[in-house]
Structure 1
Amino acid sequence: MTPERVTPAVPSYASGSSEQPLLGDTIGDNLDRTAAVFGDRDAMVEVSTGRRWSYREFVADVDALALGLLDTGLTKGDRVGIWAPNRSEWTLVQYATAKLGLILVNINPAYRTHELEYVLNQAGVRLLVAATAFKTSDYAGMITEVRPRCQELEQVVLLDSPEWDALATGSASGDRARLAEARASLSPDDPINIQYTSGTTGFPKGATLSHHNILNNGYFVGETCGYTEQDRICIPVPFYHCFGMVMGNLAATSHGSAMIIPAPGFDPELTLAAVAEELCTSLYGVPTMFIAELAVSDFESYDLSSLRTGIMAGSPCPVEVMKQVINRMGMTEVGICYGMTETSPVSTQTRADDSLERRVATVGRVLPHLESKIIDPDTGLTVPRGVPGELCTRGYSVMLGYWEEPEKTAEAIDAARWMHTGDLGVMDDEGYINITGRIKDMVIRGGENIYPREIEEFLYTHPDVLDAQVIGVPDVKYGEELCAWIRMRPGAEPLTAEALRAFADGRLARYKIPRYVRIVEEFPMTVTGKVRKVEMRARSVELLGLTAAEQTRHA
């Protein structure tokens, strides 16, 4: 008898093909190419101040600032810190440093002295550009406090000061040959940016990114959104993070689109107003931003008819929120992006012609010139399609490494240059990926593996739940129990644990129903819109009196 042939399972691997080649430019050269074609079109609009720049004016101000930076004695490879909310000056510094090969160090606007001092020293920042203050943050005061302990920090320039004016305009008529000479030594593979990952434990790590990394990622994100010179991108997400400076700024300038800055910090009303006033065609945000915008009391009074697309990313995107963004905001081509700082950041993205189900239930498929695979975290082997495992990505977008931390780099990027994300995902037969949780977020209750994302999606189906986050908390009997933090819709009665159990009974396995429920006004968040689940867990342990349970040892 002829033995029956068994067809091998299709592996969870996908690569992004494209007829569009990767860009070989530096960021400065790419900006100049754009300005040469679209010089009279809007490049940047700062809604809060009414200031606006055409591409020709934007390049002129970038070059003037670059010449000013040259006058300080900085040379290629030196680090320049930027510590400020979303302002036009932030973007000017981004492009001016890129034109000189200076490495821009993005400093989280939410940092305090301990974190600021660490980043300034770890990156070896020589010049720091900073806002004087913003909201409750006294940047100038904190800089004064830490500066004596930052030996490599030679100069601090505060925005809205004579020193900034001199830096930005003092060399406007300077020797442009010096600028050309500095740019002639640059390579697209040079490091150009250090972004500190918002770690929840220990000190953050500095993901080091090149021109090639972030310019191409911004470009292909923009290509996937269908950007042209006609597009106007509203960017309420922080420039400090890749979402703002790469998916926002670089996606815009590589296509001749306009960067619209609605406000220094996120404000739902000001964001909606900017979209209406500036006729924005695209709007960005993390899920909590879109939730806040949709909850604005006079939401219907804003004319959002110019919107066609946008991006929701930064953390898992609730299905119900995505549906409202499409139906109520008119963003019919809105997409989901998935990625991480270490991958510049986007690895997968939904497409405008994807079905509604694809766009609300997956993070899309791999972008052009990148590879994705799902592996068994224990063996490292690629799993078959439909089987969950750890998502890995490889290609031009993978960072150069963590700044001066080769051991931590080796922990994240393997010998074959695959970036291990730490995220759990499933790849379907068409290559679409669904993120099911974090490896470290997984809750193990009495031997059952529970992924909080699944429970959160269920909670969004409750008519009174505005937002929900689920964490594991210690339990003597089961090892861990589920605790749900819930934000209620305005006017709704607070949801009790008993009411939640009644709602979930028969619809959710009993072991997946949260034992504890906390009703809150807001979640502890990073500046990039990611929920600090480690902090939520610590607070829950204290508030629920679970310290003894936490100290109980389990096999």
Structure 2
Amino acid sequence: MAPAYVQGSTDEPLVEETIANRLAAVVAKYPDRVAVLSNQGKLTYRQIDEQSDAVAITFRDLGFRPADRVAVCLGNLAEYVVVIHACAKLGAIVVPMSTAYTEVQLVSAINHITASCLVLSTDISLPYKDPKSAHELFGGIIPKESRNSKVPSLRHLLVIDNSPSKCHREAFSDAVWFDDVLDQNCGKKFQQQAKLTPSDVINIQFTSGTTSSPKAACLTHKSLLNNAIVTGNRLNLTELDVLCCAPPIYHAFAMSLGVLSTMAFGCTLLLPSESFSPKAVVDSIINHQATVIYGVPTMFLAELEEAAQRGLGSSSFSSLRTGLIAGSIVPPVLRARLKEKMNLSGLLNMYGMTELSPSVSTTCFNDEIERHHNTVGTTLPHTEIRIVSRDNYHRTLQRGERGELLIGGYLLMKGYWEDEKRTSEALIIETDMHPDGSGSFQGSKTWLRTGDEAVIRPDSMLQITGRIKDIIIRGGENIYPSEIENFLLQHDLINSVAVVGLPDDRYGEIVSAFVIPHENALISQCHDISSFDLRARSEPLAGVNNGPTGTILTGEDIRCMVRGTLGRSSAPKYIFWVSKIPLTATGKTEKYKLREIGEMELRRRAESVVVGHQGVRS
């Protein structure tokens, strides 16, 4: 058996240029091609260039210098793309902020990277919610007289007016307004910083992650631009493509593979709405004949539901030829529905991480369906992957063996911003290692420890088997949540499921499943003391499912299914019926929150039993 090591193709050299250099070349080639299309209008590549020059001039005149941090808290607006390119021209570091942040979180993030400027829209949009005033949400940190004690580094506020009605400017009395910047500086040419290099940090990304403690990954022109290009090549992008980008630009998925990939190939970035809206996505695909679509499984599910409610068939999506689906497991039934209902036979799986700029591997158009169902494809060019022992990352395993996935190559982050401890834990340096058994490299090489458990199959395909920290160790036996989730998602009465480990006095940990039943399922908990219906509770998973009743589903049904196929130890001891599962803004399950909810519910149940017994004794 061969060592678990694969190196992507090196036939095509990496590009050695800055993002601003690439934009200049694309503007020269396609000046009048539509670069960004949104419900606010459209911008050509020439207009993107002119407007980003105007913003870069303003930043320079305000005293910004290369490596200054610019925090950006915007939805998917065309202005976001302009600001990104303005920062790239100046050499300022763009730091996207989640629009879902609370004021406390925004303060913490700005202070961590000591941003000198905040770019903000007057309204903030979140999925499935009405827009809220940014002043109402973040008024406590908006600079007054150029300073605010909560965010001492913040000197300037650049505001984009996206309110449906006229914004009251006095609420942002000390702000610079985006429209004024264009009026004052459009037509002026910004001289790009000559000292900028491809290895300079241009973007700091706060990881969405699956923990409650996000880290700030530093990414370079070279890592982001090359990742955008190699992934675009895997999708066969050309200047004729219209790429519908549903994920938020503040995440690396959309930042690199949306904003930068479309720019690198001279095609059109289609932004359906400021925050995710399945209706807007479906409308945009149909109205603008999108050819490529990005999303995570939860987004695609919502789009399928929207299309079904409107009676739309595959002919409505005939323009779509390919796309990327990433962020979590892709149930085979979902892929089959996307092929049948949305014409997405060419949809590719992608595996990536924020720290990796972000794309590591994808499936390919000519892959057999088994590979699309069970793997995240083959390694992208100029990227190396290894599987090592979870207990000893110096020991490379054999193909077919499960272990921790390590990544090497140009795509690695430079480190976490001002966090040497966590940087040294994530980035490891190996010396004189020969992981492929043939002396492929000597000297030192840096690898990123992903924290993901994976397998490199004999056919070189990469299979992600779960997060190492999510593996449930039940009485010394390793239980893999993703296997149970994949299996249960095949059930017609289960819409979604997340499996976590909860503490147990006997086994250390036991399997527990949070299940969203189909709206037609009738949940029966008769004589089942290990099922908990949280759907009508005022806890983090609140919301009642009032769909019509249908086939009965019980906790014991689920246990029997799992026992019969995956074995007794994999059967969930506890079943939590829920209306929704907590997700990050990019659609990843927040399993730490589920563990907290599960432990809280078990304590509540135990306390109520104790109280009940006390009442009997009295």
Q: For 1:393, what is the secondary structure of its paired residue?
A: strand
- 1:200 deviates by 4.9
Q: Which residue of 2 aligns with 1:492?
A: 521
Once the two structures are superposed, residues 139-184 of structure 1 have per-residue CA deviations (whole angstroms, 9 ceiling, x without a partner) of 324433244211110011221167222234421133x2xx22x421
1:145 to 140, 155, 166: 140
CA distance in structure 2 between the partners assigned to 1:447 and 1:72 by the alignment:
60
C-alpha distance in 1 between matches for 2:263 and 2:310: 30
Deviates most, 68-77 or 292-301:
292-301
Q: Take 2:80 and 2:366, find their aligned partners in 1: how far apart are those partners?
A: 34
Number of aligned residue pairs = 535
Partner secondary structure for residue 446 of structure 2:
coil
- Contact 1:120/1:150 (<8 A) preserved: yes
Verify the 8 A CA contact 1:474 1:546 in the aligned structure 2.
no
The answer as to whether partners of 2:241 and 2:267 remain within 8 angstroms in 1 is: yes
1:228 matched residue in structure 2: 238
After TM superposition, give the deviation of residue 117 of structure 1 in Å.
Answer: 1.1
Per-residue deviation, residues 367-390 of structure 1 (Å, max 9, x unmatched):
001100110021221100000000
Q: Name the residue aligned to 1:422.
A: 451
For the 8 Å contact 2:560–2:571, the answer to whether it is kept is: no
> 1:56-88 CA distances to partner (integer Å, 9 max, x unpaired)?
222222222222222222111111010011111
Q: How many angstroms does 1:470 deviate by?
A: 0.8
Q: Distance in 2 between matches of 1:277 and 1:508?
A: 46
Query: Based on CA coordinates, which of the two structures has the bigger radius of gyration?
Result: 2
Asked if residue 69 in structure 1 is aligned to residue 59 in structure 2, the reply is yes
Partner of 2:33: 41
1:28 aligns with 2:20: yes
Tell me the secondary structure at the aligned position of residue 440 of structure 1: helix
**Post-superposition CA distance 1:294-320 (Å, at most 9, x none):** 222435426100001000002222232
One of 484, 489, 510 as aligned partner of 1:481: 510
Alignment-derived partner of residue 371 in structure 1:
384
Give the superposition deviation at 1:547. 8.9
- What does 1:104-123 align with in structure 2 at a 5 Å threshold? 104-123=94-113
Amino acid at match of 1:392: L
RMSD in angstroms over aligned alpha carbons?
1.8
Tell me the residue number matched to 2:416: 402
Change (3 A) 1:125 1:389: same
- SS of the equivalent of 1:66 reads helix
Is residue 156 from structure 1 mapped to residue 161 from structure 2 by the alignment?
Answer: no
- The answer to whether the 8 Å contact 2:329/2:486 transfers is no
Aligned counterpart, 2:534: none
Question: 1:233–1:260: 8 Å Cα contact kept in structure 2?
Answer: yes
Contact kept, 8 Å, 1:323 with 1:360, in 2: the verdict is no
| Structure 2 counterpart of 1:472, from 492, 495, 501 | 501
* Aligned with 2:581 (options 514, 523, 529): 523
**In 2 relative to 1, CA 506–14 (structure 1 residues): closer, same or farther, beyond 3 Å?**
same
Shift of 1:330: 1.1
> In structure 2, what is the Cα distance between the partners aligned to 1:262 and 1:35?
24
Q: Which consecutive aligned stretches of 4+ in structure 1 deviate over 6 angstroms post-superposition?
A: 546-549
User: Does the 8 Å contact 1:198/1:526 carry over to 2?
Assistant: yes
1:171-202 per-residue CA deviation (whole Å, 9 max, x = no partner) reads 1133x2xx22x421211111100011125555
Q: Is the 8 A contact 1:131 1:140 kept in 2?
A: no
1:301 aligns to 2:312 (yes or no)? yes
Q: State whether structure 2 residue 253 is matched by structure 1 residue 243.
A: yes
Aligned-partner SS, 2:63: coil
Q: Distance in 2 between matches of 1:315 and 1:66?
A: 37
Structure 2 Cα separation of the partners of residues 243 and 199 of structure 1: 13
AA paired with 1:320?
V
The reply to whether residue 336 of structure 1 matches residue 358 of structure 2 is no
- Counterpart position of 1:542: 600
Structure 1, unmatched stretches of 5+, are: 1-8, 550-555
Does residue 321 in structure 1 map to residue 350 in structure 2?
Answer: no
Q: 2-side partners of 1:92 and 1:172: how far apart? A: 12
2-structure distance, mates of 1:23, 1:332: 31
Q: Distance in 2 between matches of 1:346 and 1:476?
A: 41
Partner of 2:282: 272
The answer to whether the Cα contact below 8 Å between 1:68 and 1:169 also exists between their aligned partners in 2 is no
Residue 150 of structure 1: SS of its match in structure 2? coil
Which shows bigger deviation, 527-536 or 55-64? 55-64
After superposition, give the CA deviation of every residue in 1:476-512 in whole Å (9 maximum; x if it has no partner): 2222122211222332323321221243342231111
Alpha-carbon distance in 2 for matches of 1:264, 1:122: 26
- Distance verdict in 2 for CA 1:396–1:299, change over 3 Å: farther
Q: Could you tell me whether the CA contact under 8 Å between 1:293 and 1:299 is conserved in 2?
A: no
Q: CA deviation at 1:119?
A: 1.0
Q: 1:151, 1:212 → 2: CA distance?
A: 32
Quick check: 1:68–1:168 contact (8 Å CA) kept in 2? no
Query: What percent of counterpart residues are identical?
Result: 36
Q: Could you tell me how far 1:19 is from its partner in structure 2?
A: 2.6
Residues 1:453 and 2:482 aligned together: yes
2:425 aligned partner: 411
Aligned position for 1:4: none
Amino acid at match of 1:301: L
Deviation at 1:137, TM superposition (A): 5.2
| SS in structure 2 of the partner of residue 485 of structure 1 | strand
The amino acid across from 2:414 in the alignment is: L
Shift of residue 125 of structure 1? 0.3
Change in CA separation of 1:423 and 1:137 when aligned onto 2, cut-off 3 Å? farther
Q: Does 1:87 align with 2:77?
A: yes
1:219 matches 2:229: yes
Q: Which amino acid aligns with 2:6?
A: A
Which letter maps to 1:125? A
The 3-state SS of whatever aligns with 1:212 is: helix
Return the match for 1:97 from 87, 90, 107: 87
Q: CA deviation at 1:538?
A: 0.5
* Paired residue secondary structure (1:218): helix
> Equivalents in 1 of 2:206, 2:579: separation in Å?
28
Contact 2:210 2:588 in 1 (8 A): no
Whether the aligned pair in 1 keeps the contact of 2:73 and 2:121 (CA below 8 Å) is yes
Residue by residue over 1:208-258, the C-alpha shift from the partner in whole angstroms, topping out at 9 and shown as x without a partner, is: 011001011111110100000111100010100011111111111101111
**Residue 22 to residue 139, structure 1, CA distance change in 2 (3 Å):** same
Residue 398 of structure 2 is matched in structure 1 by 384
- The range that moved more, 76-85 or 294-303, is 294-303
Q: Secondary structure at the match of 2:500?
A: strand
Structure 1: how far apart are the matches of 2:305 and 2:561? 24
- Greater shift, 443-452 or 200-209, is seen at 200-209
> Closer, same or farther in 2 for the Cα pair 1:532/1:138, shift >3 Å?
farther
CA distance in 2, matches of 1:211, 1:243: 15
Q: TM-score, normalised by structure 1?
A: 0.93
CA contact (8 A) 2:338 2:344 kept: yes
Aligned partner of 2:368 in structure 1 is 355
Residue pairs, 1:193-204, within 5 angstroms: 193-201=203-211, 203-204=213-214
CA distance in 2: counterparts of 1:294 and 1:464, whole angstroms: 17
